[in-house]
Each structure stands twice: as C-alpha cells, then as structure tokens.
Chains A and B, each alone.
Chain A
Amino acid sequence: MKNFKRLYSYTIGERKTLIFGIFLSAIGVVLTLLGPLILKFIIDNYMQEGNVVAKGIITLILIYLGIQIVNSVVAYFSQIVIQTSSSRVIQKLRLKVFDHVQNLPVRYFDDLPAGKVVARITNDTEAILALFTSAVPVIIISGFTIFGIIVASFFVSFYAGLAMIVIVPIIMIWVYLYRKASTKHNNIKRERNSDINAMINESINGMQIIQAFNREETVLEDFSKINDEFYDSSMKIVKINALTNHNLIETLRSILLMILVVVFASIFLDTGTALTVGSMYLIIDYSTKFMDPLYNIVGMLDIIEQARVSTNKVYELLDKEVEDNQDGELNTFTGTIEFQDVNFSYDGKTNVLNDISFKVNPNETLALVGHTGSGKSSIINLLMRFYDPTSGRILFDDKNTLELNKQSMRKHMSIVLQDPFIYSGSLLYNIRMNNTEITEKEALDALIKVGGQNILDKLENGIHSELSERGATLSLGERQLISFARALAFNPTVLILDEATSNIDSETEQMIQNAMAVVSKDRTTFIIAHRLSTIQNADHIIVLEKGHIIEEGNHASLMQENNKYASMYLKQVTKEEIK
C-alpha cells in the first residue's frame, strides 16, 4: 500500500488529465442511467393503451437519441484521455527504472539473471499500467453505476431498492469462494502449461540426442504425463467455471428478476395500487444493467493484486542504491597505471586479491597469468571501476581513482570481453555504438585493420548489414574481431583484452592473435592470457595464484627462474609431444 502511494507521485503532470477522464466517465454513467428514465417517461405519459401521444413520444425519443450520441462521444473521449495519460505515467516510471538500472553498481548484475531485470522494466510496469487503464476507471465507473441504480431504485420503490442491495453481498461472497477454489487450479494449470512448452522446446533442441539414444518412447511417455496433468487441472477449472462464473451470474440475474416480480405483485396486493408500468420497466431495465458492473469489479481484483506485486518488485529495485560517483575529471591521461597494496573482496569475507602492487608505464603491455579464480578478472574489474578496492590505492597518472569520475576514466579505456557481446543493429552500430564522432570510414578501417574483411565479404550490405540477435550467425572468432574493431575505433589510451578460454580452431586463433597485435600497438595494454604463447612479447608478466602475485617479470626472465610460469609454459607447449 505504501508503494502504491509512492506510485501516485508519478502522476504529477498527468493528474488533471486523469481526473478529467474520470469526470467524463462519470458523466457517461449519468447519461447511461438517464436513457431508461426517459423510456419510463414515454411509457408512463404517452403510451397508455388507446391513448398514445405521438408528438410527446417523438420529442422524447429525439432527446433519448441525443443523449445516447453524447454518451457515445463522451465514452470515446474518456477512454482515450485516461489511456493516454496513464500510458504517459507508466512511460515515466519505465524510464525512471531504466535510468536507475543504468546507475546500479555492476555487482548487482552478478547475482541477478538478466531476464528478471528486464521483467521489472517492461512486464511489471505493464502490469501497473493495467491498474491505471483498467482497474481504477472500471472500479470508479462501476461503483458509480451500482450506486446510481440503487439510489434510483429506492426512489421508485423501497423494496425494489432493497432487493438490489441484497444482491451485492451475495455476489461478493461468491467471488471470494470462486477465487479461493479456482486460484490453486489455475496456478497448477499455468505451471503445467509452461512445463509442457519448456519440454517441447527442449526436446526439439535436443532431438538429435534423443534419437541417437533411441529415447523417443520414453520422452513421449514423460510428455504424455504432463500433458495429461494439464488436461486434468484444466478440467477442474472447467468444472468450477461451469458451476459458477457466467452461468451463476445469469442465474442471479433471473433470481433478481423473480424477486422484482414478487415485489411488484406484493405492492399491488398489499396497497391495492400498482406501480406505473414505466416504473416497473425502469427497474427491470436497471436490474439487467446491475450485474455487469459487479462482475467487472470482481475481474479487477486480479489486476489490482498483480499490480500490487509488481509495484513492490519495481520499488524493491528502485530502492537499491545507485553508485556514488565522483567529480574528479580525468581529462588527459598518458596511460600510467599503478596498483598500490590493493586488497579486494566481493563479499567482504574472503579476499580475492591480496596486496597487489605493480606499475605499468605508457605503451607497455602487461599480461596477467593464472588459473581460473586466481584474480585476473578481478584486477580488470577494479581497473574498469566496476568495483573499487577494499583497501589500497589505484593510481591513474598519479591520481587516486577513488576521486575520479568513473565515466571520465572509462572514456580512456576499451575492453574486449572473452564472450563478445553483439547488439542487434548494424555492423556499423556494433563498431562505433552511439559515438558519431567515429566516422563510417574510421569504423570500416578499424574492422579491416583487425582482419575483418571476411566478415564484410559475407554480408550483403557491408558495414550497414543488420546483424542477427546476439550475432547468432557469426562465429565466435568473427564476434571477437568485431569487438576488436570496436576497441580500435574508440582509440583508447588503455586497452584491456580478455582472451577467450575455449579451445577455438587454430585458424580463428591466428586471426585473433593478429588482431590483438594490431589493436595493442602504441597503447597501454592489459591482457588476460590463457595461451601463454600469445604473451611472449609482453613487457611485464604477472603470475597470480589465489589472489597473490607469485611471480613477475618478462618471458625470458620468468623462464630463467624456472618456476611456476616456466612449468605452465612448458606443459602447454609440449603437451602435443608427450606421446
């Protein structure tokens, strides 16, 4: 509830329009209820058997028509006004969440699957939109209608009004019971349905394996089981729905009509005077208009519940603290980087980096070597300011990075990740991203320089070709090259390369090594190396183990030391020769 209140603050700027829309709807309700009232007038005043007043009827009918036309126009505009302004409110919320996510620390994304973050920004906000566009207006309008009908009925006859009021709690109790009975089965059904789809999807993707192992029958049996479970839970809902839902609403409507007949007859029998035909008509007409709003309000309960859950989820995300950023601008940067006694821990308990100190001078290449979990990637994370050290200092041109603005630092660095990310968009977009300072020609040059001519040849529209989602039609090597081209086009002072771990074929590997050589020329370069053969020319090699620097030097000196590095190197190079 508290979060609903916070949500309300997003309506600033749209509030007047929203209220105007609801006001229009209210007018619509009044007009709708006015229609039958006019018909009552016609019946009572001009339509007595043998005494029909044509002129009166025509006048009132024209008024009736006029009212209905105005009603239609009002209904149309109230819908549009409410929908437009609520959509704007949600757009504002959506942008706010997106912006917030952009400023969350990278740490946050390590623990949360991307799908969930996306759901907050798009699906949850969409659920909240339904609260504004459906739930709030429907409840207000239906509430008006129900209230109006009850009041009007009381004017005509006390007992008729009473009959209407009695119906309301009956429906509410039914709703409660119905929801209780159906929610459970609906959930099971939904779950089974997604299980079924997941299983079909998985079977299609794994078909070769299923067939290679002759497991078609077993898979079909497993499938039948959930397919039948889906049917069973569906049938339970079918039964509940057939017993209640529309069927029950219709029945209640009939019961109400029956009660009204009894009321009309009783009034006549008790007092000897009858209600006018017009009054009876009016109440019967109203009673048929009475059920739908009740039913509609019920339908909104689900939407409100979903919106409530979604609002809480969205605010849970919005309450996560964004990164604090510093003001210090790093305008010029020669590329001197120094780590001084850096310690770092992701969880605050176990250190993944211990007393790391080193210095890299402009245009030097530093290689980081070590097994998985030795701390190589953590050093890169600190360098990029995705994280900050727990203790110790990192200096860029002798400036403490903790005092520098993150974006201004990153402007001087480019990174090539080991599983390169491809955005949907053209090849050109993937190279220069949104940076239009990089001309098309520069982007093209960068791609060719790293050896991407093959990619260009393959694509129909050259650099303007749209790449498929996540670069699915490109090989890993090609995606790597694109990310090298990107790094080169941005012309950074510092380049960070994270070599791919998996064993790619030798041709691709050579392609990438050539690219690496091109890109790292004339800039400070960090390489996380998996193949030691790639870093023989590095100025500085650091060997890491469990977050400690255990050896450092260049290739020749480390080989001479004949320690960890030398043994790793020899093992890799001679593994082909063992037998």
Chain B
Amino acid sequence: MLNFLKQLKWFFTTHKKTYILLFLTVILLNIIDVVPPYIIGKSIDFITEGSMSKELLMKIVLIFSIIIVISYTLSFVYSFLIWQGAYKVETIVRHRLMRKFLLMSPSFFEKNKTGDLMAKVTNDLKSVSNGVGIGIFTLLDSSAYMITLLITMMVVVSWKLTILAILPLPILIFVEVFIGKKIHLAHEKAQKSFGDMNNSVLEGVEGVRLTRSFVQEKDEYARFYDMTENYLQKFMKVVKLDSLFNPLTTIVVSVTFILSFGFGAYFINRGDITLGEFITFNIYLNMMIWPMFATGITIDLMQRGNASYTRINRVFNTEDDVIFGTNSDHKTDIGFESYGFTYPSSNHVNLKNITIDLKSGDTLGIVGRTGSGKTTLIKQLLMYYPFGEGKLQIDGVPISDISRSDFREKIGYVSQDNILFSKTVRENILFGKQDATEEELQEAIKMSALDQDIENMPNGLDTLVGEKGIALSGGQKQRVSIARSFIKNPDILILDDALSAVDAMTESRIIENIKATRQGKTTIIITHRLSAVQHADQILVLDKGEIVERGTHHELSNSGGWYQKQHEYYLSGGDDDEEL
C-alpha cells in the first residue's frame, strides 16, 4: 500500500496543495458527520426526560440544517478533488506511455506483444487510476471516519462499551480481503471461459461456409454446448463465493449488536449511560461497518494499483536500443561493405557479408525466397535496429553518425504489411506529405493506379477506411500505401514486396509510372515477381542473408542460377516437376 503511494510520489508532490486541502476536508467532514447521531440521542433523552421544548427543537433543527449544508459542501469538494486526481493520473500516464511507444524501435514491439502493451494502457492504467481514486478516497475517508467514530464513541458514550462492542468488526476486513481474493481469481477464470465461448462462436460464424460444406453443424452445436456449460460452471463458482459476502457480514454485525445490547443493558443498569446515549452508540456502531469494509477494499485496490504501476514503469524504464547521430548534411549514396547483422532475438546470422554500392538516382532490385533477408536489409537502412558489423555508410558517413529523422525524411517506405490508419483515404495519402497541394494528391493517386477505385468508393477520397469505415481489398490497401509514398516524392523510394496483391496489369502500370517519374532518384524494389525489377540498374539475389547473385536482368537471366530458373518458371507458366 505504501509502495503504491511512493511510486506515485511525483504526482502527489506536484499536486501537494490539493492533497493537503483534501486531507483537511476529510478530517473536518468526519468530525461533522458524527454530530447528527449525537443530536438524535440527545433529542431522545430530552423527549423521554420531558425537557423538550419548541425553542429547543428550533435550535436542534437549525444546528442539524447547518451541519447538513456543511457536510454536503465538504463532501462535494472532497469527492471532486479525489476523482480529479484519479483522472489526471490516468491522462498523464497514458500520454507518457504513448510518447514512449512512439520513441521505441521495432525490437521493443517484437519483445512486447500488442496485446500486452494494450493491457498496460487499459487494464493496468485503470487499476492505477482506481488506486488513486477509490483507493485514496476510501483510505482517507475510512481511516478518518474510523478514528473520529472511535474517539466519539469512547468520549461521548463509554470507552468500555466501545471496545467490547467493536471486537468482532475486524473480522469483516478479513472476510473482505480473503473472499475478495478468491472471487477475483474465480472471476478471472470465468472471464477466460467466457472468452473461449466467445471465440468459439466467432469461429463458428467466420467459418460458416466451411462448417456447412463439411456438414459439421451438429458437432459445432455440441462443441458450443460444452462451452456454455463450462462457462456456467465457472460462473456459478463466482456466484457461490459472492453469495457468502452478505450472510457473513450479517452475522458479524449481529454479533456486534448482541454485544452492544448485552453490555449496554449492563451499563444502563449501572447508570453509566443514558438510553439516548445508547441509541447514539448504536447508530455509530452501524456507521462503523463501512470503514471496516473499506479497509479491505483499500488494501486490495492499492495492491493491484501497485502491481500495475510496476508493470507500467517497466515500459518507462526500457531504453531504446538504437543509437543515432546528428549529421544531416549528406547526399543519398548508399554503401554497404562486408555488412553483417543478427537480430537480437535470433539464433542465426540474418545478414552476412553484404556489399552494395548504390549511387544516388539508381534503381536497385532485390529478389530471393521468403526469409532470405530482403526486408532485414531494408530495415537496416531505415535505422529500425541496432547496427551490425561492417560498414554501412550514407555518402561516406557512417550511418550511426547520421540523424535518424533527417535521413528518414528523405525516404518513402512502402512496407510489406500494408498499414493504413482509420482515417479517410485522403488523410492516409496525405500522411506522406501533410502540406501537399490538391494537384500533388491527384498525381499520386494516378501514379498508383488508384483513380478508378476511389471513384467507386462511397465518398470518394473522403471515404473512411479501417475499423469504422469500409474494408479495402489487399490490392487497394497496397496502392494507398504506395500513393502515400509517392506524394512525398522522396529521394529514396523503397517498395518492400508492395505489389503482391495487385494484378499483373496494374502492376506493370505502376512500374511504368515509377520508371517515368523517378528519373535521377534512388528506388529500391523488393519483389517476388521478377517483372517488377527487370528495368533495375542492379539486381541482387539474396539467399540465407547473403548475396548469391548480382547483375542486370539481362546478365542474370543467362547466368544459370536461381534467377534464371525463376525466370524460366514464370515463362513456362509454372510446371509441377520444376525443381527449385
């Protein structure tokens, strides 16, 4: 519990004044809250003694009203400030997390799955926020409440009766914490089982054609029945634990009242306390139940908040593994020399002895089977990973001296997995160049053969894509990605297998456009279709991270190597007995 508060010290110190105010408010509030029962007890005594009068009643009503108004106002201030704090923490930490994510290199995202990171932003953040909100609310409220109540009961009524009557109450804390934990565990299991059930339905629906073609309807139903039954069993476990709460509370509270009445009778008999005081005492006793519960809740909330904040902190404490320089004064000649690279998580060498000399303005084609290292090579250039051994220079300057953002400014990158954002088509293309003119936009659309597609979209360029919008086909997504890079008119254009889902005709149209407009600018094309690199000044064939062939299309198609075989395979239309 204390650890949690310590972890969030930065927040409490910046909002010191608020929290001091909070503290004062809560103490004042609790002192005021014990007055009404006292008044009630006194009033009953006045009535039974026969000393109640109109004037006295007026006075009581007046004091009562003033207290109600003050109490309401203080409660408002208190509750407002607490929740404000909770949401502030949530907003600030979320902003920091996002900023951190944006600064991290791909290896960070490989180590941490999207689902895990999302869990930090959603569940963990919520626990922290709950800890700062409900957690601190109940911590301050219940401890202040309990202390004021105890003091009042002891001073105003009888300290002996107080101690005797509240003896069983700490059991409530135990009940709350112990059963609470069990419920939490059972609940997680039930949630998981619900998730499985959900998934089974999703599969049933998504695979509906398959299920029907293989006549599996009855079996699917049986599978689903098991899922619902399993969930029901898990759910009932939660219910059984949950149902224990109220009965246990009732019994503990009853025992408290029995003690109060038993000993109360004794003290009244002795004349130590009046009947009115006894009534007051019982109202206070009723009021003690909540802080007992709250202590349990607080402990639980703070523990969870602490665990969550520790997980979030782990993200903050991760350092980016790519170190880069500040040099921004260079051209775009790219030179690899005996370059080698191994992914941090990989158990074999991913790039070996790579030597490439790519002068500004040239076109480079890279081919090779899946997993041969084509994309790895490009990612080195994009400075996504720590640099390997050997030399990688831009215009003769080692890449580690070069400013990453300045160099990336020169690149237009179309990645393999066509990533679009849930925005309009226009916004997605303008992502490449935000201040582009309408003319540039139209040009980019035409170049990437998107014009026809956009015409057919419900709102043309302003059609939303992704989650909230329409689903684009793979080919359309690829061409929007290409347009995004075209509009930037970059010094270096990189297409990483970016035309795989586009049909052959459209592909050749795009390649023609690239040839026509990229005169004098560097273009790197990675592909499985050899037709896309035939015009390249230089073609590399990669295999297991090494360059195994290099040359122009003409040279390679007669070299007797992999490239020639591939070329012939396509020419023949593909034969079953062709060995690779």
Contact = CB atoms under 8 A, between A and B. Distances in A.
A binds B: yes
13 contacts: A73-B247, A106-B212, A197-B122, A210-B102, A212-B382, A227-B94, A231-B87, A250-B75, A258-B36, A258-B61, A280-B279, A423-B207, A506-B574
Contacts of A264: 43-44, 47
Interface string A193-222: 000111011111111111111111011100
B258 A65 contact: yes
Interface residues of B, number: 156
A201 B98 contact: no
A347 B570 CA distance: 40
B109 A204 contact: yes
Contacts of B53: 269
Interface in A249-274: 250-251, 254-255, 257-258, 261-262, 264-266, 268-269, 274
B87 A64 contact: no
B419 A208 contact: yes
A213 B494 CA distance: 12
Interface in A497-546: 501-510, 513-514, 517, 531-534, 536
Contacts of A557: none
A118 B572 CA distance: 47
State the majority secondary structure of interface residues on B.
helix
Given A209-B415, A227-B94, A434-B216, A576 B500 contact: no
A54 interface: yes
Interface string B395-428: 0000000000100110101010001111000000
Give the most central of B60, B102, B264: most A CB within 10 Å: B102
Nearest to B67: A254
Contacts of B206: 114, 421
Contact of A202 (B50, B97, B222, B421): B421
B204 interface: yes
A68 interface: yes
Given A68-B251, A218-B434, A49 B84 contact: no
Contact of A204 (B118, B208, B235): B118
Given A49-B274, A254-B71, A413 B213 contact: yes
A204 B501 CA distance: 24
A506 B54 contact: no
A71 B247 CA distance: 8
A102 B250 CA distance: 48
Interface string A215-245: 1101110011001101100110011011100
B435 to A, nearest CB: 12
Interface string B37-69: 001100110111010111011001100110110
A281 B114 contact: no
B519 interface: no
A362 interface: no
A502 B500 contact: yes
Nearest to A57: B265
Contacts of B16: none
Interface in A23-77: 35, 39, 42-43, 46-52, 54, 57-58, 61, 64-65, 68-69, 71-73, 75-76
A231 B88 contact: yes
A61 B95 contact: no
A202 B212 CA distance: 34
Interface in B470-494: 474, 484, 488
Give the most central of B88, B215, B535: most A CB within 10 Å: B215
Interface residues of A, number: 155
B419 A209 contact: yes
A43 B273 CA distance: 14
Interface string A466-504: 000100000100000000001000100000000001111
Interface stretch (A6-14, A91-99, A156-164): A91-99
Interface in B215-258: 215-217, 219-225, 228-229, 232, 235-236, 239-240, 242-244, 246-248, 250-251, 254-255, 257-258
Nearest to B488: A213
B386 interface: no
B413 A212 contact: yes
Interface stretch (A80-88, A178-186, A391-399): A80-88
Nearest to B94: A227
Contact of A43 (B243, B275, B528): B275
B382 A239 contact: no
A72 B216 contact: no
A203 B102 contact: yes
B412 to A, nearest CB: 8
A424 B247 CA distance: 42
A575 interface: yes
B165 to A, nearest CB: 13
A300 interface: no
A132 to B, nearest CB: 12
Contacts of A536: 573
Contacts of A101: 204-205
B79 A71 contact: no
B63 to A, nearest CB: 10
B95 A223 contact: yes
B286 A288 contact: yes
Nearest to B283: A284
Given A87-B235, A203-B98, A223-B95, A122 B243 contact: no
B151 interface: no
A293 B411 CA distance: 66
B287 to A, nearest CB: 9
B87 A513 contact: no
Nearest to A406: B212
B162 to A, nearest CB: 18
B201 interface: yes
Contacts of A84: 236, 239
A58 B266 CA distance: 12
Nearest to A92: B228
A562 interface: no
B20 interface: no
B448 to A, nearest CB: 16
Given A68-B251, A69-B251, A262-B57, A575 B531 contact: yes
A76 B203 contact: no
Given A118-B201, A206-B421, 5 more contacts: A98-B201, A205-B419, A224-B95, A241-B79, A247-B72
Contacts of A486: 214
Interface string B274-297: 111011001100100000000000
A349 to B, nearest CB: 18
A213 B102 contact: no
Nearest to A534: B574
B251 A72 contact: yes
Nearest to B260: A39
A68 B250 contact: yes
A72 B408 contact: no
Contacts of B50: 268, 274
A433 interface: yes
A52 B268 CA distance: 8
B12 interface: no
Contacts of A296: none
Nearest to B102: A216
Contacts of A258: 36, 61, 64-65, 68
Given A80-B243, A201-B118, A238-B80, A57 B229 contact: no
Contacts of A204: 101, 109, 114, 117-118
Contacts of B551: none
Contacts of A415: 209-210, 213
A160 B409 CA distance: 78
Given A220-B99, A224-B95, A52 B269 contact: yes
B103 A216 contact: yes
Contacts of A211: 102, 105, 382, 384, 408
Contacts of A87: 232, 235-236
A277 interface: yes
A268 B68 contact: no
Contact of B43 (A99, A261, A534): A261
Contacts of B95: 223-224, 227
